[in-house]
Structure 1
Amino acid sequence: MVKVGMIGVGTVSQMMHLPILSGLRDMYEITAVSDVSPSQLKHIADTYQAKAYADPYELVKDPNVDAVFICSPDQYHADYALAAVEAGKHVFVEKPVTLCIEDLEKLIAAEKAHPGQACMVGYMRRYSQGFLKCKELLAADDRKIEYMRFRDIILEGDFFMGQTRLPYLCSDIPDEAKVDGSARRKEQLIRALGPDSTEQQRITYVMLTGLGSHTLSAVRELVGLPVEIESVSVQGEHVIIVFRYNDFLAVYEILNDQDVVQFDASIEIYQHDRRMKIKYETPYLRYQPQSFEVIESTKEDTKTTVYGPDYRDPFQDEVKYFYDCIVNGTKPKSDFEDAMADMVLFRDICKKIKE
C-alpha cells in the first residue's frame, strides 16, 4: 500500500486524482493533504480522513507519506517537487513539471541523486488505450508517415462540471498567497522567456505548458521531435504551428477560449493508404467511452477499424502505472528528464513568435 500526500486540492485533485486514488484501495491510501485555502483543506481532509497540513513542506516530511502528488499552481511545482525528492519521497507532478528550464534542471539533478525514487510527470494522454494502440501499430510496420495534424480546440471544464459535479469551491485564499503566486509566476516566465519577452509570447507559453504539453508530449513519444519549427502564427489564445519532421510536415492548432460545447482534441497520422486518429474527451467527465480509429484503403476496398469503445480513464491508467514504478522499481517513461524535451520545444516556439 502506497501512502499518498496531496499538495493542492483544487479542481483537478477533486475531480480526478483524489477519487481515483481513493478508489484504488489495494494500491493507495490518502494519508495527508495540503492547500493554501483553509476551508478547502478542512473539507478535503475530512472527506478523505487525511491529516491536514497548512504548510506543504511539513507534509513532505511526514513519515506516513510514501509518495507526494503535486497539484498546486504551476509556479510552485519546482519547489515542492524538489523538497519531496530530497525528503525521500516518490513524486508525481501534474503537468507542466515546471515553468522554466533551469528549475527543471535542478529537479533532474535531484532525480538522478535519488535513483530509488519514482519521479513522474502527469502526461495522462500518453497512458490512454487509444494512444498505446496507435504506438503499437506504428511500431508494427514501416509505412512512411506523410502528414500529421493534431489539435486542442476546447471548451474549458466549467460547463461540464456545471452540469455534472462541481468541486468544492473556496473563497478564503489569503491575499498574501495570491500576491506571492502572481509574483512567482511572473518571475518564472521572465526566466523562461527573457526580460524582453512580449505579452503574446507569454500567453502562448502558458498555453503550451498547460494544455499544449499533453498533445506535444504525446506526439513526441509517437514520432519524436521535429527537426524544425517552420512557422508560428498567433492571435491571442489562437495558435497555429507548422512543424517539419525528417520527411513530413505536421500542423498543431490550439484554441483555448471557445464557448462552443465541444472538446476537439485529437492526433491524426496520415500514411498514404492508412489514417489513424486518436480522439481525446474532456477529462472533467470521467469514464467516457473512448475510441481509436484506423482507416485503410486499397484500389479495391476501404476498411475502417474502430478500437473501443474503451471506458478506462487515462488518469486512472497513469496512476496505476505510477504504482507499478514505485513497487517494481520501473523507471517512469514520463519522468523529469523526459519533460525537458517539451520545455525546450515550448521555448523555441515562443522564440519563433518574436522572429
Structure 2
Amino acid sequence: MNINSKIPLTGKDRRIGVGFLGAGPVTQAIHLPSLARLTDLFRVSHVMDVNQSVAESVAARVGARSSSAVDDLLADDSVEVVAICSPHKFHAEQVIAACRAGKKAVLCEKPFAVSAAEAADISEVSAETGVPVIVGAMHTFDPGWLEAEKIWGDLPETAHYIRSSIVLPPNARFEDFSTEVITRPVMPTPDYSDPSVVKARFEGMVLGLAIHDLPLVRRFVPRFDDLKVLHAAIAKPFGYSITLRSGGRTIELLASINKSWKPDWTLEAYGPESALKVTFTPSYVQAGSAVAEYTAECRKLVAGPFTYNGYEGEWRHIADIIAGTASAPAAKTLIEDLSFAIKIADAAAAVATAGMVPALQPEEAHA
C-alpha cells in the first residue's frame, strides 16, 4: 500500500466521487470524518437513506445530493465509489448492483455477505464486471497492523495461541465524540432465555464485532476445516466469550461492551519463542494507528503509532486501487475470511444453546 497516495487533480475537479447507501451512525461518525481529511482525493457527491429527512440532513453537511432510492444513487454519474453502510441483509444485493452499475470500486461494511453462497456470487460479479470490492474491516488497513506483518518473523507458522480482546463503552459514546448523530436505531433488550435470541446474538456479535479481528486471526490459522468451539457464552449486557481450536491453534475471542471508563482493543499471538501484541485504537477514534509490539530473543520491536488508522487507511487503499498502484483483496481470501466467521458464529451458538428449552410461540402458549 502506498500510504502517501495522491491522485493528480486536473481540469475542473478530478477528485473521486463517493456515494453512500445508508446514512446512519457508521456513515456519519466514521466515514464522513475520514473523508474530511482526504479532500484532495475524494468528495462526497450523493447520500442515500430510506429515511429521506436523514439523507437530506447528512447530505447537507457535505454539500451532496440526497435520495431515498438505491437506483437513484447508482444512476448518478458523479458517484464513482459506492460505500454500502446499510443493514447486513442488504449488503450482497447492493454490492452486486453497484458492480453492475459500472462503478470504479465498492466499499462494503462488514460483513459483505451473510453466507458463503452470497460471497461467491459477489466474487463472480466482481470478476465479471472488473469492479473491485473492499470490505470495511478497518484493522486490515491499519498501518500499525501492516507494519506488524513486516516484523513478526515466523510467528504465523509457529503461533499456538491467539487472543482478541475487546473492551469498549457503547457505540453511542464514541459516536457523540465524533459528530452529532442524526437518529439512531432503537436497540431492544434481548431475552437471553430464548435460544433463538442467543443464536441471533452470536451471529450479530461475531459478524458485527469479532469480524474486525478475524481476518487478522486467520493469518495465524493455516486451516479451519477442523474448527471446534470448546466454550461459548454471552457476556451481559453485550459481549461474548468464545474459545475454539482450529488448525492446531487455540483461539480466544473476548468482548465486553459496558460502561468501562477505559477502552481496550488488543490482538495477541504467542509462539514458542516469540509473541506479538497489537493495540488498536477504539471504535470511532479518528486519529492515530495501532501500535505493534513484537518480542523475540529478549528483544522487543515496536511499530507505531502512525498518524492515521484503518478507517482512513481503507479509503487511501481505494484511491490507490483506482490510481493503479494497489490491488484489491483477493476474492478467495474474502470468501474464506467470511466462511471462518460464519463457522465460528454457528458453532458458538450451538454450544451456547445446547440444552436450552426453546421459548413457546404465542399461539403455543395459549393452546
Between 1:283-292 and 1:270-279, the stretch displaced more is 283-292
Matches within 5 A, 1:203-242: 203-226=201-224, 227-235=226-234, 237-242=238-243
288 and 328 in structure 1: CA distance in 2 versus 1, 3 angstrom threshold: closer
The CA deviation string for residues 37-78 of structure 1, in whole angstroms up to 9 with x for no partner, is 222211222221111122122111112211111112222212
Deviation at 1:251, TM superposition (A): 1.7
Closer/same/farther in 2, CA of residues 112 and 143 from structure 1, 3 Å limit: closer
Relative to structure 1, the CA distance from residue 312 to residue 329 in structure 2 (aligned partners, 3 Å threshold; closer, same or farther) is: closer
1:342 partner SS = helix
Q: Are residues 347 and 248 of structure 1, via their aligned partners in 2, closer, same or farther at CA, if it must alter by over 3 Å?
A: closer
1:98 — aligned with what?
113
2:266 is aligned to 266
Q: How does 1:321-336 map to 2 (within 5 A)?
A: 321-328=317-324, 330-333=326-329
Paired position in structure 2 for 1:342: 337
| 2:128 matches 1:113 | yes
Letter of the aligned partner of 1:167 in structure 2?
Answer: E
Partner of 2:304: 308
Partner SS, residue 259 of structure 1? coil
> Given the superposition, is the C-alpha separation of residues 238 and 39 from structure 1 closer, same or farther in structure 2, using an over 3 Å criterion?
closer
1:275-334 CA distance string (max 9 Å, x none): 21001121322114642122334xxxx43333223231211111111111122174312x
**Identical pairs, percent:** 21
Contact 2:240–2:254, Cα closer than 8 Å, also in 1: yes
2:91–2:112 CA contact under 8 A, matched in 1: yes
Aligned length: 326
Aligned match of 2:42: 28
Residues 209 and 112 (structure 1 numbering): CA distance in 2 closer, same or farther, change over 3 Å?
Answer: same
CA contact (8 A) 1:154 1:258 kept: yes
CA distance in 1, matches of 2:304, 2:341: 33
Q: 2:179 aligns with which of 166, 171, 175?
A: 166
Quote how far apart the aligned CAs of 1:230 are. 4.1
Aligned partner letter, 1:219 = V
CA distance in structure 2 between the partners assigned to 1:142 and 1:158 by the alignment: 36
How far, CA to CA, are the matches of 1:105 and 1:304 in structure 2?
A: 41
Matched residue, 2:364: none
Aligned equivalents of 2:157 and 2:120: distance in 1?
Answer: 37
Deviation digits for residues 135-168 of structure 1 (CA, Å, limit 9, x no counterpart): 1223567872232222223222222344x34333
- In structure 2, the CA distance between the partners of 1:327 and 1:144, relative to structure 1 (3 Å rule), is same
In structure 1, the residue matched to 2:69 is 55
* Unmatched 5+ stretches in structure 1: 183-196
Aligned partners of 2:158, 2:118: CA distance in 1, in Å? 38
Q: For residue 292 of structure 2, what is the aligned residue in structure 1?
A: 292
What is residue 139 of structure 2 aligned with on the other side?
125
For 1:142 and 1:205, how far apart are their aligned partners in 2?
27
Change (3 A) 1:161 1:58: closer
Residue 46 in 1 paired to residue 60 in 2?
yes
Instruction: Give distance in 1, aligned partners of 2:93 and 2:248.
Output: 40
SS at match of 1:134: helix
Give the aligned residue type for 1:318: E
Contact persistence 1:294–1:306 (CA under 8 A)? yes
Bigger mean CA deviation after superposition, 131-140 or 82-91: 131-140
Q: Which residue of 2 aligns with 1:275?
A: 275
The CA RMSD measured in Å over matched residues stands at: 2.7
Distance 1:40 1:153 in 2: 30
Give me the whole-angstrom Cα distance separating, in 2, the residues matched to 1:149 and 1:224.
16
1:30 positional shift:
1.5
Residue 35 of structure 1 aligns with an amino acid whose one-letter code is D
Q: Distance in 2 between matches of 1:249 and 1:73?
A: 32
Which residue in 1 is equivalent to 2:365?
Answer: none
From the superposition, tell whether residues 238 and 43 of structure 1 become closer, same or farther in structure 2 (CA, over 3 Å).
Answer: closer
CA distance in 1, matches of 2:325, 2:296: 40
SS of residue paired to 1:309: coil
C-alpha distance after superposition, 1:107-160 (max 9, x if no partner): 222112112x22111111011122112212235678722322222232222223
Distance across 1 between alignment mates of 2:77 and 2:212: 33
Moved more, 9-18 or 205-214: 9-18
- Give runs of aligned pairs for residues 186-201 of structure 1, distance below 5 A: 198-201=196-199
